[in-house]
Structures are given as C-alpha cells and as structure tokens.
Amino acid sequence: MEESTKQLAKMLGDRIRSLRLDLGLSQEQLGERSGLHTNYIGQIERGEKNLTLETLLKIARSLGTSLEQLLHSIDPLDPHTPLGEIVVMLSERPATDQALVLALMKTVFSWEEEKRK
C-alpha cells in the first residue's frame, strides 16, 4: 500500500474500532454481525487492509451507522465554511433541535421559492 493509503486505512480502522467500542462490541461480535472473520476485523482496525465499498457498507450497517457517519471524521467538512459551520453547530445539538432547524430551513426555502415566482 502507498503511504497515503496506509494512513487512510489506519484512520478508518481507528474510527471503526472507536465505534465498535462505543457499542460495547468485541471484534468477534462485529465479525458475526457483518459476516466477516474476526481476524479480518482486527486487520481492518489496525489499518492493514484496504477495504472495498461492500465491506465498508457491511461494517457501517453492523455498527448501526451510515457510510457518511463512518467516514465523517476521516474527511470532515471544513468547519470554516458556512456549510461546515452549520454541520458543527447542528451536530452538537439534540435531535429535537436538529428537527426544528430542518423544519425552519424548509419553511425559509419554500418562502424564497414562492418569492421568485
């Protein structure tokens, strides 16, 4: 593996390990959930394997998360851009606040569309 690919594989493996541990799962349990061998899970977490999208999807689903969330911390949005700032602010708020902001955004965008007509 090329050095940058090794670094990416290590960061992804660290992220998978962190999510697995947050759920209180062993490597064996994650392997059972995802249909992957326990040794392979260990290799992934150590950054020794270059994963396919299919394997990433299996792991994400087994961890109860999306590919987006799995990869978020690996290549996050720039928090100094407007979109990045919005994402950071919303990610720190409870789901009820996020739903409220979403409803507000839909209302504002709908109102803007009506103004343009």
Residues 107 and 54 in one domain: no
Both 51 and 28 in one domain: the answer is yes
The answer to the question of residue 44 being in a domain is yes
Average pLDDT along the chain, 117 residues, taken 10 residues at a time: 84 94 96 97 95 95 92 79 88 89 95 88
Number of domains composing the chain? 2
25 and 67 together in one domain: yes
In a domain, 10, yes or no: yes
Q: Name which of 20, 14, 9, 13 is nearest 63 in CA terms.
A: 20
> Which residue, 72, 76, 59, 73, is CA-closest to 23?
59
Report the pLDDT value the prediction gives residue 1, as an integer from 0 to 100: 64
Q: pTM higher than 0.75, yes or no?
A: no
- Judge whether 77 lies within some domain: no
- For 105, the domain range is 82-116
Residue 29: inside a domain: yes
Q: Are residues 3 and 47 in the same domain?
A: yes
Structural domain ending residue among the three candidates 35, 50, 71 = 71
CB burial of residue 58 (10 Å; 0-12, 13-18, 19+): middle
In a domain, 19, yes or no: yes
Q: Are residues 14 and 33 in the same domain?
A: yes
Cα–Cα dist 21/44, whole Å: 14
- Asked if residue 97 and residue 66 are part of one domain, the reply reads no
Q: What pLDDT sits at residue 35? A: 97
If asked whether residues 38 and 66 sit together in one domain, one would say yes
